[in-house]
Amino acid sequence: MDTMFTVEESNLICIFAGESRNEVIGDIERALPYLEDTDMAELSGRVIGKLRDMTDEEFGQLELTEAE
């Protein structure tokens, strides 16, 4: 898989963890209008882009662990 996620990006995906890649994308997109922090909005946009660029199979193989 060519798409690598930063720690921050992985944490965001963990927050919105869902059953499918499309579910995670949809959940993040629904949260975007409520984000007042521009850095968080940019991070969310990057994550959505990376998720869209990967396949469902690649998403299923992700081993995401929320970092503290």
Region 14-28: mean pLDDT is 92
Whole-prediction pTM value?
0.87
pLDDT tens, position by position, 27-56: 999 999 999 999 999 999 999 999 999 999
- pLDDT band for position 67 (cuts 50, 70, 90): low
CA distance linking residue 1 with residue 4, whole number of Å: 8
CA dist 20 → 36, 51, 52, 59 (Å): 26, 10, 12, 8
